Amino acid sequence: MVRRPTRRSGLGLGSASSGTRLLDIGNMVGLSRTDKKRLERILREAERLRGLRPEDLIIVRDTEPAPDILGDFVGKLVKPKDMSEILGSVIQSPNLPKANQLDFVTSSMMDILRKKVPQSLPKTPVPIGKKGADLPVTSKGLTQLLQLAAVRLSEEQESVVWDDGINQLVVHASRMKATLTDGMVRVDIPVEADGLRATMQIPFAVGGEERLTGLVMATTDRPAGNALVAQVWGSSLIALAHGALISASESLAGASGRDPQNRRLIPRALVARRGMLVVESQARFNFKEARP
């Protein structure tokens, strides 16, 4: 008996009534290197089976390719509009907890998305190190997530007073705003001091459609805005903006799926375009400690 292999990349074994002979894979167009190696392995296995000749095996294309359960997740693309509508409905919910609203919101979003568009998120654990779903958020949606993340980083305070022993600054975490352009995320943070109101702008160069950078990003040495605030509090404002962006991305990716060890997925890349940021998720790699 020959066991039918798990369908991967839309390939399977079929009867001799239709399809392309397995021995002709070298002449096929559009077959990936991985598929060729897989089929060559099947040929070698067939040579060791009695009564089965490799030349009798054929390849058939399924009408709907099945996802590769051992590779990257390939699901239905999520529409940014759907994400925005879901996020808006969750944030307006009267059941929001007083603490850690960020994870509550992202988890609720993913629960609704799974019901609305089941094919958009992994239904099974994502293999170690493999890619999960792509999660797009609009400028408005990212603004809402950043505000929740910044409040969590500010000990659940919507506005917090920074004090270095000499200077004081009121930072309005819940009024943070995001602006998205191609390859760029700009975070605006409203602040106040004695007789001063300003908005400090922190730009982050992230990945774009033609420049993939993973989670690597770059910024200026100090925010744009009031020069005195930038001189005294520049590093702290950049750290808050960066921390909020990473926290929002981690919460969104983590709510989208799990790995075989039941660990939350993590962000592997940020890709910005005008009006939208895509958070690419993935399962963690396993690392072993080096032996002395």
Position 270 in a domain: yes
Residue 173 in domain: yes
Three-state secondary structure of the chain: CCCCCCCECCEEEECCCCCEEHHHHHHCCCCCHHHHHHHHHHHHHHHCCCCCCHHHCEEEECCCCCCCCCCCCCCCCCCHHHHHHHHHHHHCCCCCCCCCHHHHHHHHHHHHHHHHCHHHCCCCCCCCCCEEEEEEEEHHHHHHHHHHHHHHHCCCCCEEEEECCCCEEEEEHHHCEEEEECCEEEEEEEEEECCEEEEEEEEEECEECCECCCCCCECCCCCECCHHHHHHHHHHHHHHHHHHHHHHHHHHHHHCCECCCCCECEEEEEEEECCEEEEEEECCCCCCCCCC
CB of 207 within 8 A of CB of 271? Answer: yes
Asked, for residue 66, whether it belongs to a domain, the answer is no
Higher per-residue pLDDT: 54 or 34? 34
* Domain region containing 118: 80-282
Lowest-confidence range among 35-49, 124-138, 205-219? Answer: 35-49
Q: What percent of the chain has pLDDT over 90?
A: 65
Q: How confident is the model at residue 54 (pLDDT cuts 50, 70, 90)?
A: low
Mean pLDDT of 173-202: 96
In a domain, 70, yes or no: no
Asked, for residue 290, whether it belongs to a domain, the answer is no
The mean pLDDT value for 137-155 works out to 96
- Would 4 be classed as within a structural domain? no
Pair (148, 269) in one structural domain: yes
Same domain for 221 and 122: yes
What are 221's two structure tokens? 């040495």
C-alpha span between 129 and 259 (Å, rounded): 9
Q: In terms of pTM, does the model score above 0.85?
A: no
**Is 268 in the same domain as 174?**
yes
Q: Let me know whether 133 and 206 are in one domain.
A: yes
**What's the rounded mean pLDDT across residues 135-150?**
96
Together in a domain, 102 and 56: no
Residues 268 and 128 in one domain: yes
CB 192 within 8 A of CB 176: no
Please check whether residues 160 and 266 belong to one and the same domain: yes
Q: Is the pLDDT of residue 14 over 70?
A: no
Instruction: Supply the pLDDT for residue 109.
Output: 96
Rounded-to-integer distance, Cα 109 and Cα 222, Å:
34
Same domain assignment for residues 103 and 243: yes
Tell me: do 144 and 175 sit in the same domain: yes
Residue 108: pLDDT band with limits 50, 70, 90: very high
- Please, which residues have CB within 8 angstroms of residue 106's CB and are 6 or more apart in sequence? 145, 251, 252, 254, 255
- The answer to whether residue 174 sits within a structural domain is yes
Check whether residue 32 and residue 90 sit in a common domain.
no
275 and 159 belong to one structural domain: yes
Indicate if 84 and 57 belong to the same structural domain.
no
The structural domain count of the chain equals 2
Q: What is the pLDDT of residue 12?
A: 43
Q: For residue 154, what pLDDT band results from cuts at 50, 70 and 90? A: very high
Q: What is the mean pLDDT of residues 159-185?
A: 96
In a domain, 287, yes or no: no
